[in-house]
Structure 1
Amino acid sequence: MSAISAFTSAILPIIAIAGVGYVIGWRTGISVGQLNTVALNFFLPALVFHGIVTTDLSGKTVLNLGLAVFAYTLIMMGVAYLSGRTLDLPDAALPGVVLASAFPNSGFVGIPLTEFVFGDIGRTTATLFLTIQSVILYTVGVYVVSASSDNTAGVRSAVREVFRLPLVYAVVLAALVRFLGLVPPVDGTFMTTVDSVGSASVPLMLTVVGIQLAEVDLGGLHRIALPTALKLVVAPVLGAGIAVVVGFTQPHVGNIFILECATPAAVTPLALTIAYSDHDDESLSTAEYMSTVIFVTTVLSVVILTALVVAIQGGYLF
């Protein structure tokens, strides 16, 4: 597959839908918060539930995926932390660098991308990646943000958020339904409805990404070189290495994992950094710093993701 073909088939649809969201956000000033809440609490859980109860992924593959996500996230956090310390970054910027580098936008960008490239198996694998990542983010991630400010109450509150995530319950319910052999008929009313709701999450998530980018207040572009390089260069290489070590028996799953690792910086860490950190650099606020990283990595990831899709379709990875 040529770069042009990979771009038009997998990347251009994402840019087009997110671009519409950007224009809507820019022209109307609409707040993305409520749309984001609806996507996370209704559309995305339906996508997760339907994907898991109908997937052909084996239990071993799901376990390997979980181990890979944990390994990738923790190693990236360590690399980002050591890099920040080596470059003598200010304490206020360090949590942002760590979270922006380690947590990819595996949901709002990764799910649509993997569905365009791999179909249903891509969507299901990406939702599992997102769910596992969310658990790490609301535990280890929040600890990183809060540790330097001794915000222990914030840590406890954030950890409790894990048990409020509809994604987690959608996974548990789907696994239980499969284990008990109670999966409803795929062509029945219930599963058809769930599938319709879940499928609607893809354009909705991309629209939310576009609106989020329209809200970004860029600042300090010269200070984001480290997290940008870690997210766009180191993360895909590390993801590929972990995929080889884990040894996914299904090549598609290994490729999807690498693509997920290569997606741009996620938005959720920005919200957590603002909520649970007491620091603020006078020359550049934490919110501006994280927002700039998100914007730049989202724009530049187009090149990286296109190259990876070409490599995957050409059989150069798994």
Structure 2
Amino acid sequence: MESTLSIITSSILPIFLILGAGFLLNRFQAIDPGPLNTLSLFVLTPALIIHSITLTELDADALLKVTLGVLGFVSCLLVVSQLYGRVTGKSGAVQNTFVLVAVFGNTGALGIPLADFAYGDIGRQTAVLFAAVHGALVFTIGLLIALRSGQQSGYGNLKRVFRYPLVYAVIAAIVARTVGVVPSADSALMETLGLVGESSIPVMLLILGIQLSETEYAGALSMTVTPTFFRFLVSPLVGIALALALGFQNSDVAQVFVLLTAMPVAVAPIIFVVEFASEKTVKGVTHPEFVSANVFVTTLVSIPVLTVAVALLKSGYVI
């Protein structure tokens, strides 16, 4: 088994050093993450998706299984979190907001860099595909859940999903690969896409650090236990079951798939509840504060959890 120190220094520490830089920078020099987020969403991440999927070393079998795995993973968590909410008496906006933090993990800003540092090219390629499919679900199903939290009268706001180029980037990459019109890896176009896409990884971590430094969480800390349990126990157990059922031929792909099911709470739900349920409260805590607290706590808890997860996965004891 790879040593804990080696995993921390090679896979975990680089991520949290960059994240910490964003956190501290915003503490001493107020930074508006909006332009950075726009740059990442509309330029950097699409470039990473196109470059990674078109030039991926993953075969068609792995591409299909990762995609089906993400769809199955989110579906299972939706069912489990909904059932748990009903059993514990949650309803309405409270139930919907709980589902958002229990189901959707930070597979992009944290998952892609972690997989890259821990598994290299195959890790990054697997993580990009996982995060792309997962992100599409966040901005469709997640947005629908948020609309219900705010008791919106219609779903016209769903059209905003199609403003983001993430889905189009995935489609363009798959079509180009299927038709066989992908330029060579050393062509000017692909090298440019690669250069731009690689820059998305540190930028995503800096944005996450900035967002965490602005988190209002004090009053909601007591409400983070159950979502943390879901993100780091229920979620990876579902991931392991799906990975075994799908039967990945490449063990590294299987391990990265499981690793990405154990990510802390995604940041996107904060944006959703701020827009659709910002005035609603539960036990005196607003829904944005509830989500923010869970993002903050699960991100901190992820440091030891992900260190252990990488060690166990790389040992081959889990899958």
* TM-score class, shorter: over 0.9
- The verdict on how the C-alpha distance between 1:148 and 1:184 changes in structure 2, with shifts beyond 3 A counting, is closer
Aligned length: 316
Kept in 1: contact 2:136–2:166 (CA 8 A):
no
State whether residues 96 and 149 of structure 2, in contact with CA within 8 Å, keep that contact through their aligned partners in structure 1. Answer: no
1:37 equivalent in alignment to 2:32: no
Task: Give the superposition deviation at 1:188.
Answer: 1.9
Given that residues 236 and 261 in structure 1 are in contact (C-alpha distance below 8 angstroms), is that contact kept between their aligned partners in structure 2? yes
Point out the more displaced range, 7-16 or 249-258.
249-258
CA contact (8 A) 2:26 2:213 kept: yes
Contact residue 77 and residue 103 of structure 2 kept, 8 A: yes
Residue identity opposite 1:56 in structure 2: E
Give structure 1 stretches of 5+ with no counterpart: none
Residues 150/280 of structure 1: CA separation in 2 closer, same or farther (3 Å cut): closer
In the TM superposition, residue 279 of structure 1 has moved relative to its aligned partner by 5.9
- Deviations along 1:119-147, one digit per CA (max 9) or x if unpaired, are 12211211111221122222222222223
Cα distance, 1:148 vs structure 2: 5.5
Q: State TM-score, norm by structure 1.
A: 0.94
Q: Which residue of 2 aligns with 1:245?
A: 245
Q: Distance in 2 between matches of 1:224 and 1:252?
A: 31
Residue aligning to 2:222: 222
Matches within 5 A, 1:229-308: 229-277=229-277, 280-281=280-281, 283-308=284-309
Q: What residue identity is the alignment partner of 2:299?
A: T
Task: State the alpha-carbon separation in 2 of the partners of residues 30 and 262 from structure 1.
Answer: 29
Q: Give yes or no for contact 1:149–1:279 (8 Å, CA) kept in 2.
A: no
Q: Tell me by how many angstroms 1:54 deviates.
A: 0.7
Give the 3-state SS of the residue equivalent to 1:109 in structure 2: helix
Q: Which residue of 2 aligns with 1:196?
A: 195
Structure 2's unaligned 5+ residue stretches are: none
Displacement of 1:240 in angstroms is 0.9
Partner of 2:156: 156
- Equivalent position of 1:9 in the other structure: 10
Percent pairwise identity: 35
Aligned CA-pair RMSD? 1.6
Question: Which deviations, in whole Å up to 9, do the C-alpha atoms of 1:233-253 show, x marking residues without a partner?
Answer: 211111111111111122111
Q: Is the 8 A contact 2:62 2:248 kept in 1?
A: yes
2:75 maps to 74
How many Å separate the matches in 2 of 1:281 and 1:52?
42
CA contact (8 A) 2:23 2:213 kept: yes
What per-residue deviation string (whole Å, max 9, x for no partner) do you get for residues 90-117 of structure 1?
6332222111111110000000000001
CA distance in 1, matches of 2:254, 2:171: 23
Structure 1 CA distance for aligned equivalents of residues 16 and 151 of structure 2: 40
TM-score (norm 2): 0.94
- Residue of structure 2 in register with 1:169 after alignment: 168
User: How much does 1:231 deviate?
Assistant: 0.9
SS of residue matched to 1:262 = coil
CA distance in 2, matches of 1:201, 1:138: 19
